[in-house]
């Protein structure tokens, strides 16, 4: 697993403005985030003898991109041979070093030459097709395992016995230029992300009520809402969100609107049920007009809320379920106190019932296994509140050494696995429960 260098202070690396070279800018398979990221990586590589910065820091440079998007962007830049990533030993274990591949200008020289030769002659559609084909050819020639451009320049051969160099990537350009295309007859640009954004627009309409349905065009012309929605969806794709992630966010938004018994959203409230364009980004004027108590008042967009997942949405917008009857209030109160003391939190609406269910299940467990449990003088089987700490201790025992790998919630306390395995394992390990059982 890639480790970022913890010794490098982010504030010590202060790159200025960036430049994006043509070899990167004309690659239509890179997102805008990836192109901007390359510019900053190039600055850091020059000023700090390679880049040691963390994904979090790089995300801030690019404009507030989350670390996982940066991780994906770095992988793509590496796949296209723009950068190299090396893991080296350090006092902390392993550190990651990112460096600009010095051969990328040689690899992508044909791409730049093609762009300048045809940019003024072709409309957007055929130019895009031509550059796409050129990139595919470059990737094919310089696939992993092929001889590097520098070696080929020196006349060395690949394992297949053929010489490869930047000058012999010969492509019949006319083969990829559509016949009869002129400035007057060229169609609109099919940008790399446009089709994906259009697919997501169609998916929104396919989900159906209670989502608002939209038309794409009127009398052969795209509607203003369609153009705005496509622009905003493309913006999130360029930030690094995938088609699947955006579609899942749409599904969750539909679920919130379609389940008034589970969520606070209401289709007849302003700001709750919005168009697809406002789902992707809330308009400033509309946001300012919302009343203070409106739950949509303080959000950037419903997309940004939904992309955080169902568990987050239940915590932020779920209705508090009816409280269960608590037959053991003293045990429940003690369990909640210990939970808080151990540093755990409980902010979801359903958490209160989890504590009540857990205390009841724990009392039942003691009734069944009480004779097999050894306690000290300060504890009594007849006083479950003095023993309920074992539930929390069992969780801590379960995740010991891997605390950062788990998102522990009160639901763990009443899950069947607690009483079938986690709690008995903890009690036996500490000689509290007879090991024969």
**Which ranges of 119-213 does DSSP label H, i.e. alpha helix?**
124-141, 149-153, 194-207
- Residue 357 and residue 363 in contact, taking contact as beta carbons nearer than 8 Å: no
Which whole number is the average pLDDT over 165-188? 35
Q: What is the length of the chain?
A: 437
Per-residue CA distances from 409 to 319, 326, 339, 343, 353 (Å): 18, 20, 10, 11, 12
State residue 1's pLDDT score.
43
Q: At residue 155, does pLDDT exceed 60?
A: no
State residue 359's pLDDT score.
93
Q: What is the pLDDT of residues 303-313, one digit of tens each?
A: 988 988 887 88
State residue 229's pLDDT score.
94
Going by C-alpha positions, the residue among 190, 103, 178, 100 that lies closest to residue 138 is: 103
Q: At residue 237, does pLDDT exceed 60?
A: yes
**Which ranges of 108-242 does DSSP label H, i.e. alpha helix?**
109-118, 124-141, 149-153, 194-207, 224-239
State residue 125's pLDDT score.
64
Q: Residue 56 — pLDDT band, cuts 50, 70, 90?
A: confident
State residue 379's pLDDT score.
59
Q: At residue 404, does pLDDT exceed 80?
A: no
State residue 364's pLDDT score.
92
Q: How far apart are CA 431 and CA 51, in angstroms?
A: 52
Which whole number is the average pLDDT over 43-49? 79
Q: At residue 275, does pLDDT exceed 60?
A: yes
State residue 65's pLDDT score.
80
State residue 252's pLDDT score.
92
Q: Residue 180 — pLDDT band, cuts 50, 70, 90?
A: very low
Q: At residue 191, does pLDDT exceed 50?
A: no
- Residue 32 and residue 7 in contact, taking contact as beta carbons nearer than 8 Å: no
Name all domains of the chain by residue range, CATH numbers in brackets.
10-101 (1.10.10.10), 109-165 (no CATH), 194-317 (no CATH), 329-429 (no CATH)
Average pLDDT of every residue of the chain: 77
Q: Residue 150 — pLDDT band, cuts 50, 70, 90?
A: very low
Q: What is the pLDDT of residues 320-337, one digit of tens each?
A: 766 788 999 999 999 999
Q: At residue 372, does pLDDT exceed 70?
A: yes
Out of 105-109, 185-189, 328-332, 417-421, least confident range: 185-189
- Tokens read off for 329: 């209030």
């Amino acid at each position: 697993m890639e480790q970022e260098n913890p010794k490098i202070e982010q504030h010590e690396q202060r790159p200025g403005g960036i430049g994006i070279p043509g070899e990167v800018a004309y690659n239509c398979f890179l997102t805008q985030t990836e192109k901007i990221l390359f510019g900053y990586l190039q600055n850091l590589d020059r000023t700090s003898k390679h880049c040691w910065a963390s994904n979090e820091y790089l995300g801030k440079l690019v404009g507030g991109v989350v670390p996982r998007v940066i991780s994906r962007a770095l992988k793509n830049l590496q796949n296209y041979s723009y950068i190299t990533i090396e893991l080296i030993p350090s006092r902390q274990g392993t550190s990651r070093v990112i460096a600009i591949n010095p051969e990328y200008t040689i690899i992508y020289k044909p791409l730049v030459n093609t762009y300048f030769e045809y940019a003024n002659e072709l409309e957007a559609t055929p130019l895009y097709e031509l550059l796409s084909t050129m990139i595919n050819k470059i990737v094919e020639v310089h696939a992993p395992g092929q001889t590097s451009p520098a070696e080929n320049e020196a006349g060395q051969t690949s394992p297949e016995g053929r010489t490869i160099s930047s000058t012999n990537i010969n492509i019949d350009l006319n083969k990829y230029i559509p016949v009869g295309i002129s400035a007057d007859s060229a169609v609109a640009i099919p940008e790399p992300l446009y089709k994906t954004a259009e697919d997501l627009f169609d998916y929104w309409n396919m989900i159906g009520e209670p989502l608002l349905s939209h038309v794409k065009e009127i009398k052969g012309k795209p509607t203003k809402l369609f153009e705005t929605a496509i622009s905003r969806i493309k913006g999130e794709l360029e930030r690094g969100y995938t088609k699947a992630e955006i579609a899942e966010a749409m599904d969750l938004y539909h679920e919130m609107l379609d389940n008034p018994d589970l969520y606070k959203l209401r289709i007849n409230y302003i700001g709750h049920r919005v168009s697809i364009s406002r789902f992707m980004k809330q308009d400033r004027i509309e946001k300012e007009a919302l009343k203070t108590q409106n739950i949509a008042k303080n959000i950037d967009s419903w997309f940004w809320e939904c992309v955080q997942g169902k568990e987050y949405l239940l915590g932020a917008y779920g209705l508090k379920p009816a409280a269960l009857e608590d037959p053991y209030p003293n045990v429940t109160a003690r369990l909640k106190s210990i939970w808080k003391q151990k540093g755990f939190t409980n902010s979801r609406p359903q958490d209160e019932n989890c504590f009540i269910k857990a205390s009841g299940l724990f009392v039942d467990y003691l009734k069944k296994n009480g004779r097999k449990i050894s306690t000290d003088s300060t504890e009594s089987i007849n006083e479950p509140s003095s023993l309920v700490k074992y539930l929390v201790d069992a969780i801590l025992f379960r995740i010991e050494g891997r605390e950062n790998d788990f998102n522990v919630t009160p639901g763990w306390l009443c899950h069947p696995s607690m009483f079938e395995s986690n709690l008995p394992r903890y009690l036996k390990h500490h000689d509290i429960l007879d090991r024969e059982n």
